[in-house]
Structure 1
């Protein structure tokens, strides 16, 4: 039986109310006492933890959760449960490798150890590596949930912006399996061939004079009535204006928040005269409202896709405590290069 650790080393939030401050200045490597487990909690020895766009927004104090100065950052990861105070389920989990989600408002997972609720831990299939397992909750589950929602809305095709992101690539893969066509919007020409090879039915560059005409034509031809929006700001009304009457925009991110304080905009005229709708999606809300069997079912579906090689997270590199802050800055600017993974116990 493992000895319960007394201290925990990791990257804590150093909140700075200045949008121009470097992201690496917003985290501080500290060591602090490791508290004992409360009822319902487990202790996870972390193997790997990625950086997600939501982590960047949280570091800037713009996320749906208020920043907690001095708390470890990081929303998801992978590790082994080495202690549990969660009844029979905790005993069953003890010793297992799990994908883990941080408890909202508490310490995150960019540390050697993470304390979280047992219900936020999902046993991981042995075929899935640690770096891939560390990424199976936030992005892949979001990709699946977004397409399932598009199906509920009766969409024959979807438009996805920031399509070279991990969520975007997951959407393209899963939509293809579900018989839904995809129109991928990207800024970089280098991503066009990549997304076409992945299965996108159309790939359109945003920074061209013909962008609106191309998107209008593609949306009409493919009957794309749902926008999956990770960008927000002026991108939402710009894209929706090219889509058919009755289209729905599902805003699940705001990548502009990593550079700009504007959260989101929509076109009033399109809402009134084109009967367009805007709704939001946050995975934390979905999981919080879902039944346990629904969460386990989602996890099994996503892990099966990983094990079969259908889903795959692009990895930029693995970094220990020494190299992580520099890699954080790289990821903030070059997200399409792949995930930066922290390996705190390497």
Structure 2
């Protein structure tokens, strides 16, 4: 690891190119640039990036439809694994220097698809040596979301959960973690080829949304298992359709919007059910959860997730590991084949650590 005085003056990474052209692929919305490494502000750390995955939230951000404003010229990428090389962040920052961490991008600042990144110290979580760089790079966004969603469902008194996009990494994590907690899962997918895998992971029942009698089968399953919590990554029509099949007093927790729509709002809710059937709708955004929590709350969540990784309960499916040169092609593959597994960028692959 280079001493701080030998850090490069400029760094390479993928930045966002804003465009209103809806036909552009994900790779056409980014460009590889070099720019000056900024100085650390108070509370920040500098991290050498070892691995950084592509998540659905990254794709939505490239479209300019995420909860954070898309800004041209900023590096993109929300999640990574790296080594902290410098800190301006008090005791915790000093503790992190030299350690390998899972990290999230600081909202409104450069992202993590770059050789180096600057973020807040409390967005960095030390990781055990038992977890590879590739797996550690996926530690925060999906596994932490899976755990938080299941624990919120437990707090709501759920005995069973309905989840859409169940073949996603969050969906698989929810199934694994809910099963370990004795919570039944009704997993809804678009492609039946994933059904057997989800059953092997512990899904109680798998439904294919395109089946002719899907709505009735979903309603029967919700009644059978008393599923009163919906974990919704799809939004739009799927929210209302799913809630229609669920018992009175059910709650939808919406944490994503995978529906391919250019509607900037993207929500369709059953207003009559909210009024007359005591249906409730709430949102979950991990970035806000981490931003509002104390360092120690986030640290405890990280330790729980890492134990689930090392025990084999959690494992991220990885399709391909690439460098800058091969990233564009791999990015477009992921955009069209998310269930194949993650694409991982290694921006310093030719340098080692």
Whether the aligned pair in 2 keeps the contact of 1:4 and 1:83 (CA below 8 Å) is no
Given the alignment, which residue of 281, 288, 292 partners 2:291? 288
Which consecutive segments of 4 or more residues in structure 1 shift more than 2 A?
A: 259-262
Query: In structure 2, what is the Cα distance between the partners aligned to 1:264 and 1:73?
Result: 26
Whether the aligned pair in 1 keeps the contact of 2:123 and 2:290 (CA below 8 Å) is no
Determine if the alignment matches structure 1 residue 239 to structure 2 residue 256: no
Query: In structure 1, what is the Cα distance between the partners aligned to 2:62 and 2:37?
Result: 22
Shift of 1:61: 0.7
The corresponding residue for 1:43 is 46
The corresponding residue for 1:173 is 176
Instruction: Provide Cα deviations, 1:285-318, integer angstroms capped at 9, x if missing partner.
Output: 1112222221111000001101111100000100
TM-score by length of 2: 0.96
Whether the aligned pair in 2 keeps the contact of 1:164 and 1:195 (CA below 8 Å) is yes
Determine if the alignment matches structure 1 residue 63 to structure 2 residue 66: yes
The corresponding residue for 1:112 is 115
TM-score by length of 1: 0.98
The corresponding residue for 2:104 is 101
Instruction: Provide Cα deviations, 1:134-187, integer angstroms capped at 9, x if missing partner.
Output: 001000000000011101111110000000000000000110111110000001
Query: In structure 2, what is the Cα distance between the partners aligned to 1:189 and 1:57?
Result: 25
CA RMSD of aligned residues (A): 1.0
Query: In structure 2, what is the Cα distance between the partners aligned to 1:209 and 1:260?
Result: 27
Query: In structure 1, what is the Cα distance between the partners aligned to 2:296 and 2:121?
Result: 15
- Equivalent runs, 1:197-208 vs 2, <5 Å: 197-208=200-211
Whether the aligned pair in 2 keeps the contact of 1:97 and 1:123 (CA below 8 Å) is yes
Shift of 1:18: 2.5
Given the alignment, which residue of 25, 28, 32 partners 1:25? 28
Instruction: Provide Cα deviations, 1:89-119, integer angstroms capped at 9, x if missing partner.
Output: 2221111100011110000000000011111
Given the alignment, which residue of 333, 336, 340 partners 1:337? 340
- Equivalent runs, 1:289-308 vs 2, <5 Å: 289-308=292-311
Query: In structure 2, what is the Cα distance between the partners aligned to 1:327 and 1:233?
Result: 28
Shift of 1:38: 1.6
Aligned length: 345
SS at match of 1:17: coil
Query: In structure 2, what is the Cα distance between the partners aligned to 1:297 and 1:86?
Result: 20
The corresponding residue for 1:136 is 139
Instruction: Provide Cα deviations, 1:34-54, integer angstroms capped at 9, x if missing partner.
Output: 112122211111010000011
Shift of 1:87: 2.3
Determine if the alignment matches structure 1 residue 194 to structure 2 residue 169: no
Shift of 1:273: 2.1
Query: In structure 1, what is the Cα distance between the partners aligned to 2:90 and 2:286?
Result: 26
The corresponding residue for 1:14 is 17
Query: In structure 2, what is the Cα distance between the partners aligned to 1:213 and 1:38?
Result: 56
Shift of 1:25: 1.0
Runs of at least 5 residues in structure 1 that lack an aligned partner in the other structure: none
Query: In structure 2, what is the Cα distance between the partners aligned to 1:266 and 1:157?
Result: 21
Determine if the alignment matches structure 1 residue 158 to structure 2 residue 165: no
Determine if the alignment matches structure 1 residue 270 to structure 2 residue 294: no
Query: In structure 2, what is the Cα distance between the partners aligned to 1:4 and 1:86?
Result: 19
Given the alignment, which residue of 315, 319, 336 partners 2:318? 315
Query: In structure 2, what is the Cα distance between the partners aligned to 1:80 and 1:106?
Result: 19
Runs of at least 5 residues in structure 2 that lack an aligned partner in the other structure: none
